[in-house]
Amino acid sequence: MRNFVLALWGRRWVRFGAVGGTSSIVYGSIGLLTVKLMGLPVLVGNTIAYVISFVVSYLGQSLLTFQAHLQHKSMLPKYMATQGIGFGLNSVIIWVLTGIGLAYEYAMPIAIFLVPVVVYMLCKYWVFPQSQRTETLLDVPNLEKSSNVAVQSGVGGSGYSERIG
């Protein structure tokens, strides 16, 4: 089981989803904390929650998912634009689908599925393009001694095979 988890975690898209999920939990938790428990106005609490979750998301995606270090001056503006594109695309999808009569609760899962795919592709090919050379297991020490699971690394499954865990 450990080998399976390590192999799965070695996939960039899994890390992308985990970071996004963590950022969403941070957003929801801080939003509820600031508005419901601290009594801040909704827009103030929501803004605080969004800013903090954005920082969590950016740091997680840049450092953990795409392992792109020390290039924040060029990556951060692109990441901000990508998040704006994601928000805009989400809004358009919801607007169109509810406009043609689909209930919000059915439109939302469609947006939840489509928007992260677009954001992931923008992050992979535009925001963090230097990270395409490999898809590693985050330099976890001594993995070669404990498993025989192989992970393909590189763009489109090409590149090198790496023994993990």
Sorted by sequence, the CB contacts under 8 Å of residue 119 that are 6+ apart come out as 82, 83, 85, 86
Strand 161-164 and strand 149-152: the pairing is antiparallel
| pLDDT tens by residue, 5-50 | 888 888 888 999 999 999 889 988 998 999 889 998 888 888 898 8
| Global pTM exceeds 0.75 | no
| pLDDT tens by residue, 83-128 | 899 889 988 998 999 999 998 888 888 888 898 889 989 988 999 8
Phi-psi region of 5 (alpha: psi -120 to 50; beta: other; left: phi over 0): alpha
Cβ atoms within 10 Å, residue 132: 15
Does the pLDDT at position 52 exceed 90? yes
